[in-house]
Structure 1
Amino acid sequence: MTDEDIPATASDELEGFVGKWRARWPEWPLAEVFVQREQRPVALAWAALQQELLDAAWGGSDARPGELKLAWWMEELAGWGQGRRRHPLGRVLQREPAPWPVLAAALPALARSRERPLDADDAFAAVEPAAIAAAQVEHALFGAGDSDGTSRLIAASWLAARARGEGDAAVPLALLGANGDSAAAQNAWRGQLAARWPQMHRGAPRVRRLWASLARLRLTDSRDTPLPAPRVLWDAWRAARN
């Protein structure tokens, strides 16, 4: 789908959600050059949808608003499988022959993953059902063949995003107890995530390999400003060719 296929008002609404994702990932225009041009609108919409779901699952001090939002998304994604859509992101994604109802069915597990994990194994296990469903969607959207490898990259990327965005709330109990303060525990958790990062391989869609590369770079870099362009381009190139 191209911008010409979307009415102006709907395009503005769509860009609002995509823009929120772009604001968190300012390095994407550099990495995006390795994505086929015709896949870029779908990639951006899919990235924005994931951000909406993760924000609902993990954001804020009160879980209830996020639970209600995820319940709404369950209905919306199930509707996409039946040819219905309400959300602006559906203008790009709903037409794609992806298993949206499978993703909808995994959202309760994503909601439960808000609970603080016991350790790293527990953190990965908590997001695994939703990551597996997301991998099925991703392979339908972008091709490639190794769903297990893709789901592991998705899980790691999601947990890295939570570690950066939610701070102390993302840290497993085991690390909170083993470190003297919250900042030390957060650093230790980010270090564990980086150490457990799945290997890149061609079985995962190229766009996922690029996202995972950026997520790991951001995880291991403490700066709040965009990462240096040469570093982003080098890692994106390596991820694209793996």
Structure 2
Amino acid sequence: MAGHAMSDAAPSRDEALDSFLDKWRARWPEWAVAQAFVRPEQREVALAWAALQQELTDAAWGGSDARPGEAKLAWWMEELQGWSRGIRRHPIGLALQKLPVPWTTLGAAIPSLRESRERPRDRDEAFAALAPFAQAVADIETALFDATSTSVSVVQAGLLQARLAHTNEAAVPMSVIARAGEGATTHAWAAELLAHWPRGDAGRPRRVWNALARQRLRRGDASQPLPPWSALWTAWRGARA
């Protein structure tokens, strides 16, 4: 009976947190080797922070109907405001809520992330639509990872790669569709992102994430994980950048 009761029990908060971390790991299995180039004391925070960003961007960009995602984003705005007051409901808050970073700033930037769901006209608009949210992300990463000042453009580029990986053709600007023609749009957008990938300062986790993102684009599929040997080499170079 005890075993049966245990199996029917609700998952613990730690198990719930792990489920969200595992969602991010499933998309980025390269982290298993790439995390070696992030300081040990930063790895748990980096993983939880990446998982939080994925929850927000999935809500903003996922699905054919925007309304469920909009509701999730509204909930997250309240949640992040609560974090600043020491209140948390979401399991990711176990790893992040107590950290002294501007969670209210991130919550205030969520409406701009919601609006970025609209297909951009061109590359400039794709970057500009994400600027407020990317600024909030950069501010948090500067505080989390001892970066002198995380570059907003570097965060924007990483977000655009993530959107392409998650939504495929829906992420491609109209100008790229018009130029590339049917069937070649995602490759054309990946090539344009690579050609205009910004340089800038960032903490080591962001440098590693973006290095992996760029290498995926170079290999021709934003959503396809890198082989372990490529992930290791890419993460090493990203950490040294």
How does the TM-score come out when normalised to structure 2? 0.92
Whole-angstrom distance in 2 between the partners of 1:227 and 1:215: 10
Of 104, 107, 110, the residue aligned with 1:107 is: 110
> 1:86-123, CA deviations, whole angstroms, 9 ceiling, x for partnerless residues?
00000110010010000000000000000000000000
1:81, distance to aligned residue in structure 2 (A) = 0.6
Aligned Cα root-mean-square deviation (Å): 1.3
User: CA–CA distance in 1 between the matches of 2:12 and 2:135?
Assistant: 34
1:103-153 deviation per Cα after TM superposition (whole angstroms, max 9, x unaligned): 000000000000000000000000010000011111111111123x2x212
Return the alpha-carbon distance in structure 2 between the equivalents of residues 101 and 178 of structure 1: 40
- Alpha carbons 2:187, 2:220 under 8 Å: kept: no
Is 1:222 matched up with 2:223?
A: no
**Other-structure match for 2:133:** 130
Amino acid at match of 2:205: V
Residue 124 of structure 2 corresponds to which residue in structure 1? 121
Contact 2:110 2:133 in 1 (8 A): yes
Runs of 4+ in 1 over 3 A off after TM superposition: 222-226
Q: Which amino acid aligns with 1:193?
A: L
Distance in 1 between the 2:14 and 2:39 partners?
21
Aligned to 1:3: none
Deviation, 1:177, is 1.6
Q: Which letter maps to 1:205? A: G
Q: Which residue is 1:190 aligned to? A: 190
Task: Say whether residues 1:199 and 2:193 are aligned partners.
Answer: no
**Amino acid corresponding to residue 188 of structure 1 in structure 2:** A
- Greater Rg, structure 1 or structure 2? 2
- Aligned partner of 1:41 among 34, 44, 53: 44
Contact 1:164-1:219 at 8 Å conserved across structures: no
SS of residue matched to 1:117: coil
| Stretches of structure 2 lacking an aligned partner (at least 5 in a row) | 1-10
Counterpart of 1:212 in structure 2 is: 210
Q: Which residue of 2 aligns with 1:157?
A: 158
What letter matches 1:127 in structure 2? Answer: L
